[in-house]
Amino acid sequence: MIPREQPGPLLNGLPTNLPDTDVDETNEWLESLDGLIESGGRNRARYVMLRLNERARDQRIGVPSLVSTDYVNTIPKSKEVPYPGDPDLEQKVRHMLRWNAAIQVHRQQRPGVGVGGHIASYASAATLYEVGLMHFWRGKDHPGGGDQVFFQGHASPGMYARALLEGRLTENDLDGFRQEYSRPMGGRGLPSYPHPRRMPDFWEFPTVSMGIGPINAIYQASFNRYLENRGIKDTSQQHVWAFLGDGEMDEVESRGALQLATNEGLDNLTFVINCNLQRLDGPVRGNGKIIQELESFFRGAGWNVIKLVWGANWDPLLENDTEGALVNVMNTTRDGDFQTFKANDGAYVREHFFGRDPRTAAMVADWTDDQIWALRRGGLDYAKIYNAYKAATDYTGGPTVILAHTIKGYFLGSHFAGRNATHQMKKLAIDDLKGLRDRCNIPVSDEVLEADPYQPPYYNPGPSSPAIQYLLERRRELGGFVPERRGEPSKKLQLPDEKAYKATRKGSGNQKVATTMAFVRLLKDLLRDRGLAPFIVPIIPDEARTFGMDSFFPTIKIYNANGQQYTP
């Protein structure tokens, strides 16, 4: 490893193999930088250097990319576009979803059931999902074929809650959460985590939090591109989205295939990582900053990175941060501290965040503690999310990852938000129920909640509600419900006739043959069938020659998403 204090082409970005062809001109540039620092300050000099780096990349100079940027949004306010939806109606939908998702898990903790579940994950990601469902994710009836979404496993109650409002599931179905075999009260029984075998008409892909979502999403996007390149199916309008947890990104499978997405230029793929900073037992990186770590990792792997850190009410503060004091505090505050802030109140944030620098303290001197407490994180701001999603879908040439800063247990009340134990909390106390009801504007009285605290009612205003009509109309315009799985394939394979298996059935006589070699012989025969051959996808990492498969090279070729750009 190159020591950090030594010049190296990657760690320090110094082109040590290039000669200085004009020493005097180089010195003039260096003196100009010194002068800029002296006249404009370090913050101004840093800004100019960043812009120069950006321009150098645009001009394809070949300078190293920045591995990590400031702890701020990638998309500045000046480059945002207006939100296209109806914010009031969409907020009403989100409120209903938050209530029903939490109540669904809470009701399954009644005496005699107690099957567990997760409340806090969906609470942190509800807005991330709803912006996609309202404006981006296309259903199966869309002319382009529809998008494919890998939902974060622990957020499944939110998808069931939405299906209730859409009329696809009943309240009895929701009361069958985690009770797939007992199925109480006539419900169908809902799996805790997405799986098509458990709900073959609903879930498309199995996911939880162990890394199978991210790696499968990469291969789904890869094979979508394969189908298009081979002329089998037009997938040019289909996009793959994967919703992941920041703790999940520590799994080997989560990061192990990132280079494949870059090498194949999979701009039909977007990761959305819900950075609520918590895993099951506590902070993901209490002493560090998981968003910064993931940014460096994905940038190093060649991905387009969009950081979604702060909500709109931070914009005035950042615009007035002429000396970079606020950005510095953001850069140096550890994730563990951000979690502590959200477990306290506005006065605590004033003292322990803004109070770290007299200049930042002055920024909020005239603010109330409630105003400070209302400062929102980027992954909870629908307009910021929309702009991040739009930028991701507009980007070409490679995959995109969105790092969305959220709060685990958001909107559930002070007993949940940001608490280390929130992932394991399954039910709400009566005061928590009343508080959530009030924040969500759910028309349920205290008397109803107190009569049976274990079974507070779901809320569904029905198809005559303007909010429900809006929800359904958005899905109609986007081509149908998501998630949805349709079992009948659009094109069925025509299997080969008996003669394709004749040689294999004949056997090898007295000659012993390895099972691998026997399979290769069968595969060769199947590849001669014109109806089946185009649908066989040989994936050979290496050693094709070892198993006698080198004859495939001139016949079915070697697939590469970028073609062959060298002379063999």
Per-residue pLDDT tens over the stretch 355-401: 999 999 999 999 999 999 999 999 999 999 999 999 999 999 999 99
Say what the pLDDT of residue 65 is. 67
Q: CA-to-CA distance for 422 and 445, rounded, in angstroms?
A: 26
Q: Nearest Cα to 171, choosing from 155, 188, 154, 158?
A: 188
- C-alpha distances in angstroms, 500 versus 51, 507, 529? 63, 14, 8
Radius of gyration for the alpha carbons in the chain, expressed in angstroms and rounded: 27
Token pair, residue 304, equals: 């387009």
Strand order in the sheet with 148-150: 148-150, 240-245, 269-275, 400-405, 304-308
Return the structure tokens found at 8.
């190296």
Residue ranges of the alpha helices (H) in 395-429? none
For residue 510, the Cα-to-chain-centroid distance in whole angstroms is 56
**Strand ranges, E, within 395-444:** 400-405
In sequence order, what are the beta bridge partners of 271? 242, 401
Burial class (CB in 10 A: 0-12, 13-18, 19+), 401: buried
Q: CA–CA separation, 441 vs 439, rounded Å?
A: 6
Contact between 432 and 413 (Cβ < 8 Å): yes
Instruction: Identify each DSSP E strand in 180-330 by its residue range.
Output: 240-245, 269-275, 304-308
- Mean pLDDT on 285-313: 95
Residue 5 pLDDT: 42
Among the residue ranges 158-167, 386-395, 420-429, the one predicted with the least confidence is 420-429
* Helix residue ranges per DSSP H, 343-489: 346-352, 358-363, 369-373, 382-394, 430-440, 446-451, 466-478
Q: Which residue has the higher pLDDT, 558 or 455?
A: 455
The candidate with the shortest Cα–Cα distance to 96, out of 459, 339, 541, is 459
Q: Residue 7: its pLDDT value, please?
A: 39
pLDDT above 50 for 211? yes
Q: What is the 3-state secondary structure of 286-319?
A: CCCCHHHHHHHHHHHCCCEEEEECECHHHHHHHH
- At residue 507, φ and ψ (nearest 5 deg) are 85, -175
Can you give the pLDDT at residue 19? 76
CB 235, CB 138: distance < 8 Å: no
What is the bridge-based pairing of β-strands 269-275 and 400-405? parallel
The Cα 384–Cα 393 span in angstroms is: 14
What pLDDT does residue 9 have? 36
At position 565, the amino acid (one-letter code) is Q
E-strand stretches of 255-389: 269-275, 304-308
Is a pLDDT exceeding 90 seen at residue 16? no
Residue 356 token pair: 């770290």
Token digits for 526?
């199947």
What pLDDT does residue 257 have?
Answer: 95
Left, alpha or beta for 288 (phi > 0: left; psi -120 to 50: alpha)? beta
Q: Which residue has the higher pLDDT, 339 or 557?
A: 339
> What is the tens place of the pLDDT at every residue in 305-344?
999 999 999 999 999 999 999 999 999 999 999 999 988 9
pLDDT in the model for residue 46? 82
User: Does 14 have pLDDT greater than 70?
Assistant: no
- Is pLDDT at 489 greater than 80 in this prediction? no
The percent of residues above 90 in pLDDT, for the chain, comes to 64
Q: Looking up tokens 């469902």, which residue turns up? A: 133
Give the per-residue pLDDT at 375: 97
Contact 470, 86 (CB under 8 A): yes
- At 98 the pLDDT is 96
Quote the pLDDT of residue 422: 53
Which tens digit of pLDDT belongs to each residue from 186-203? 778 899 999 999 899 999
CA-nearest of 174, 68, 127 to 460 is 174
User: For residues 533 and 243, what is the distance between their CA atoms, to the nearest angstrom?
Assistant: 34
Q: In the prediction, which pLDDT does 4 show?
A: 38
> What's the pLDDT score for residue 420?
56
Q: What pLDDT, on a 0 to 100 scale, did the predictor assign at position 17?
A: 60
pLDDT exceeds cutoff 90 at 138: yes
- Which pLDDT score is estimated for 357? 97
Q: Select the more confidently predicted residue: 424 or 72.
A: 72
The structure tokens 């100019």 sit at 48
Average pLDDT, the chain: 89
Residue pair 481/139 in contact (Cβ under 8 Å)? The answer is yes
Contact 205, 194 (CB under 8 A): yes
Average pLDDT over residues 138-153: 96
In this predicted structure, which of 291-305, 319-333, 521-535 has the lowest mean pLDDT? 521-535
Tell me the C-alpha distance between 499 and 505, whole Å.
10
Q: What is the mean pLDDT of residues 480-496?
A: 86
Smallest Cα–Cα separation from 222: which of 261, 171, 189, 165? 261
Concatenated DSSP letters of 118-180: -SHHHHHHHHHHHHHHHHT---TTSTT---EEE--GGGHHHHHHHHHHHTSS-HHHHTTBT-T
Predicted confidence at residue 85, as pLDDT, reads 93
Q: Return the pLDDT at 2.
A: 36
Would you state the pLDDT for residue 8?
37
Alpha-carbon span 284 to 551, nearest angstrom: 49
- Averaged pLDDT, 139-168: 96
Task: Give alpha helix (H) positions in 145-289.
Answer: 156-166, 171-174, 212-229, 252-255, 258-263
Is the separation of the CB atoms in 484 and 199 below 8 Å? no
